[in-house]
Chains A and B, each alone.
Chain A
Amino acid sequence: QQQVKQSPQSLIVQKGGISIINCAYENTAFDYFPWYQQFPGKGPALLIAIRPDVSEKKEGRFTISFNKSAKQFSLHIMDSQPGDSATYFCAASMGTGFQKLVFGTGTRLLVSP
C-alpha cells in the first residue's frame, strides 16, 4: 500500500516531442506528489509538485496531471530537449509523521536530437 508504481522504465522521445511519465499509488492518505529530475552522479532536484486539491499544475514546459479517483498522476514534458535527458522519479508522501517520501522506480528519458 506504500508503493508508488511508475512507468515506463525508459523512454525515448524526439526533440520537440512530448514526454509522458505515469505513476499510480494505492494509499489514499498521500497528499503531496512531487516529481524529481536526477542527472547521473547528482542528487535529485525537485521539478514540480502537486497536492490533491487540484487536477493540473503547470510550470514552464512541465505539467503534472492528477486524477484523484484513479489514484494516478503523470508528468508531461512539452517541447522535450536533449538537456531533459535524465532519470525522473515520482514520489508521494503523507502530511503526518515524518512526511517521508515514497519514490517510484524511475524513468530514464532520452531525448534524441
Chain B
Amino acid sequence: GAVVSQHPSWVICKSGTSVKIECRSLDFQATTMFWYRQFPKQSLMLMATSNEGSKATYEQGVEKDKFLINHASLTLSTLTVTSAHPEDSSFYICSARELAGVYNEQFFGPGTRLTVL
C-alpha cells in the first residue's frame, strides 16, 4: 500500500520557537495532503487541506499565520508551527491522497508528537 512518512516523529521545543514538520508520500504522488491535530483520547481534527503549488485551505478556527503549510511538490508538504506555546502541544498527523489512486482514499502518516515547554 501507499506509504506516508512524517519527520520528526517527536519534538520538544521551548515556548516561542518555531517547529517544522515534514510529510512525505514515499511511493506515490499526492495531489492533496491534509493536516490533522489530535488531542489525547479524542478524534482527529482537520486543520487544513493543501494542494501542490497552491495556498492551503484552512478549517474554521485554525490560525493560518500560526500554522504555516507549504506543499511544494507532489510528494512533500510541511507544517510549521510558529511561535509555539504549550497549548500547541498535540499529536499532528498528515494524510495524502494519491494522484491516480482510489477516489477519496487517504493514507495517513505515523504522526508527530509536539511538546512545547
Binding site for B on A (CB under 8 A): 31-32, 34, 36, 41-46, 49, 89, 93, 95, 98-101, 103-106, 108
> In the complex, what residues of B have CB within 8 A of residue A95's CB?
103-104
Closest 9 CB pairs of A and B: A32-B104, A43-B108, A43-B111, A98-B49, A43-B110, A103-B43, A44-B108, A99-B104, A43-B93
- In the bound complex, do residue A101 and residue B42 qualify as a contact, i.e. CB atoms below 8 Å apart? no
Nearest A residue to B45 by beta-carbon distance? A103
Contact residue among B32, B42, B107 (Cβ-Cβ distance under 8 Å from A106): B42
Nearest-neighbour CB distance to chain B for A46, whole angstroms, equals 7
Q: Which listed residue, A34, A89, A99, touches B44 by the CB 8 Å rule? A: A89
Q: B-side interface residues toward A, CB under 8 Å?
A: 4, 6, 32, 34, 41-44, 46, 49, 51, 57, 91, 93, 95, 97, 103-111, 113
Asked if B32 contacts A98 (CB within 8 A), the reply is yes
- Taking a contact as CB atoms under 8 Å apart, the answer to whether B44 and A100 are in contact is no
- Give the distance to chain A from B82, nearest Cβ to Cβ, in Å: 23
Is B104 in contact with A89, judged by CB distance below 8 angstroms?
Answer: no
**A97 and B4 alpha carbons, distance in the complex (Å):** 22
Contact A41 B111, beta carbon cutoff 8 Å: yes
Pair A99/B97 contact, Cβ less than 8 Å = yes
| CB contact between B111 and one of A42, A93, A100 (< 8 Å): that residue | A42
Q: Can you name 8 extra interface pairs (CB under 8 A) apart from A41-B91, A43-B108, A46-B105?
A: A32-B103, A43-B93, A44-B93, A99-B32, A99-B103, A99-B104, A101-B34, A106-B41
Chain B residue with Cβ nearest A44: B108
Residue of A nearest to B4 (CB): A43
List chain A residues, Cβ under 8 A from B57. Answer: 98
9 contacts between A and B (CB under 8 A): A34-B104, A43-B109, A44-B44, A44-B93, A49-B104, A95-B103, A103-B43, A106-B41, A106-B43
Residues B108 and A45 in contact, CB atoms below 8 Å apart = yes
Residue of A nearest to B9 (CB): A41
Closest chain A residue, CB of each to CB of B110: A43
A98-B32, A98-B57, A103-B44 as given contacts; A42 in contact with B105, CB under 8 Å: no
